[in-house]
């Protein structure tokens, strides 16, 4: 069965993007040996991607005319959005739990990749749907921005166990599975 996986880069103080979606602070680490390979290996096991409307719009704005995902993409948004021609994109509204079985079905034997943003990842966490979190911390402090899980409080704490740790040139990739 497909796992729901949040694979993300974060600042030391727990932000995945600056206000407005800026990622220049994170992109500085694209050349760190092993980071790209780690992502490509992860991506090979993905059968479906999920993202919020802001993330979807950021991708479209910063990579016009190209769609980088080869698998179905689900976008959770309150806004009226359209899909690019040729992109396998479904735009939905509602609680993430309502769509969990459809997402798993789309992913098949592979994983559901929660791309972001933090608020959407927080919704999956709150619904008890996060099976795995892979976060790479980079040695930057932003002081604000888009929080790793959207800054939402949980009604009940969720326990995870560390199953992998890789240090690369000042970055640390932590791989957690639900306990």
Structural domains of the chain, count: 1
pLDDT at 132: 98
Q: Considering the domain boundaries, does residue 41 fall inside one?
A: yes
Q: Considering the domain boundaries, does residue 29 fall inside one?
A: yes
Structural domain of 124 = 4-148
3-state secondary structure of 34: coil
Phi, psi for residue 22 in degrees, rounded to 5: -60, 135
Q: What is d(CA 29, CA 50) in angstroms, rounded to the nearest whole number?
A: 24
What does R_g of the chain's alpha carbons equal in angstroms?
16
pLDDT at 136: 97
Q: Considering the domain boundaries, does residue 87 fall inside one?
A: yes
pLDDT at 85: 65
3-state secondary structure of 40: helix
- The CATH number assigned to the domain holding 33 equals 3.40.430.10
Q: Considering the domain boundaries, does residue 153 fall inside one?
A: no
pLDDT at 150: 92
What is the mean pLDDT for each group of 10 consecutive residues in the chain (179 residues)? 95 94 92 93 97 91 86 92 80 95 96 95 96 97 96 89 97 97
- Answer for the pair 15, 146: CB distance below 8 angstroms, yes or no: yes
pLDDT at 20: 83
Q: What is d(CA 11, CA 178) in angstroms, rounded to the nearest whole number?
A: 22
Q: Considering the domain boundaries, does residue 168 fall inside one?
A: no
Burial 158-176 (b: 16+ CB within 10 A, else e): eebeeeeeeeeeebebbbb
pTM: 0.95
pLDDT at 8: 98
Q: Considering the domain boundaries, does residue 155 fall inside one?
A: no
């Amino acid at each position: 069965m497909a796992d729901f996986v949040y694979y993300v880069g974060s600042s030391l103080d727990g932000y995945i993007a600056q206000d407005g979606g800026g990622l220049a602070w994170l992109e500085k680490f694209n050349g760190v040996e092993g980071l790209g390979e780690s992502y490509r290996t992860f991506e090979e096991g993905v059968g479906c991607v999920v993202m919020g409307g802001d993330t979807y719009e950021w991708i479209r704005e910063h990579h016009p005319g190209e769609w980088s995902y080869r698998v179905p993409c689900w976008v959770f948004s309150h806004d009226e959005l359209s899909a690019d021609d040729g992109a396998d994109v479904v735009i939905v509204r509602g609680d993430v739990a309502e769509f969990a079985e459809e997402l798993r079905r789309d992913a098949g034997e592979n994983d559901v990749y929660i791309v972001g943003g933090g608020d959407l990842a927080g919704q999956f966490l709150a619904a008890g749907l996060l099976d795995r979190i892979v976060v790479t911390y980079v040695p930057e402090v932003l002081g604000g921005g888009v929080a790793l899980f959207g800054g939402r409080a949980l009604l009940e704490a969720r326990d995870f166990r560390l199953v992998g740790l890789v240090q690369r040139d000042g970055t640390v990739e932590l791989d957690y599975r639900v306990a």
